[in-house]
Amino acid sequence: MLAVRSLPAEIVRFVVVGVLSNILNFVVYVLVHWAGGALAVASAAGYVVGMGTSYHFGKSWVFAGGSAKSHGAVFPFVLVYAVGGAGMTGIIEAMDRMLGIDYRLSWLAGAAYAAANNYLGSKWLVFREGGARGG
């Protein structure tokens, strides 16, 4: 089990990876939307890019206490991030279409939901000791 004193360092690593992933996510999101893509398509495209970045660094750095060779974490990771991505996309669509909030601010609200979902899911379901990462 993760020691309580290492939790702040883990959260800092998760935030660093999250910032990098979200920068890439947002850049792709804006570019796809700017090129004429629907908000849902732009959101999904950005999310996939960010998700790949998050998986790589989540497994190799953030939650690196277990086996880095195991591929057993891929399906649970995709499932957790799919829930986060669907929620993020739903929040973006609802805020933009129903409330008339700018798509960039809508993205921030969706990203906040996804970050909370993805950290908790990664920590407790995907990369936990003896869990999916153990193979």
Spatial neighbors of 119 by CB under 8 A, at least 6 apart, are 11, 14, 18
pLDDT the model gives residue 5: 54
When pLDDT is averaged across residues 77-99 and rounded to a whole number, the result is: 92
Instruction: Give me 85's structure tokens.
Output: 């991505």
More confident site: 107 or 66: 107
Report the alpha-carbon angle 109-113-114, nearest 5: 115
Q: What was the pLDDT predicted at 133?
A: 43
CB 127 within 8 A of CB 93: no
